[in-house]
Structure 1
Amino acid sequence: MVTKAELEAEVADLRRQLAEQTEAREKASAPSPHDTMADKIAENIDGWSSQLEEALTELEDLPHKRPILFALGIFTLGYLLGRSR
């Protein structure tokens, strides 16, 4: 039969192992400030590039989808540029 002292020693050993594992996970999952900043910049650049691609695609499709709106926009832009001189 197992004694109380042996059980307490085993529980203490298990607690120590659990604390070591928790500490190792925290160290592995905690990103450095430089990695975090670089990741944020990369995500922002990816977001901006995808938004720019969407805007350019919509601008390319505008003359075909809404020709009157496109013509009015070009006319207005030309008028404003002509008046600025």
Structure 2
Amino acid sequence: MKNTLFIVLFFVFGLAVTGIVHAQRFVDHHDGTVTDTQYNLMWTKDANPLGKFKWDDAVDRCSSFSLAGKMSLQKVIVNQAAIPQRSSRREH
């Protein structure tokens, strides 16, 4: 019985710690943006803020897109693509 209680408490504590770490990694600015503090990237909360476009039209729209006065969407895409690849190369 003591072992079962210990295992359950250990599991619950682990879930609580995981939630705290996750909450600290992502910061909601309440202006339509969220920052990933691990990679220092800012994301839009809306997965499709500009609607649907053909590729060339989407690239043109992204170059002038701004959300809450932050950097353009195009810059975020370039930074987002580069950082995780560099970190995954170091891990292997």
Regarding TM over 0.5, the answer is no
TM-score by length of 1: 0.39
Which is helix-richer, 1 or 2? 1
TM-score, structure 2 as length reference: 0.37
Structure of larger gyration radius: 1
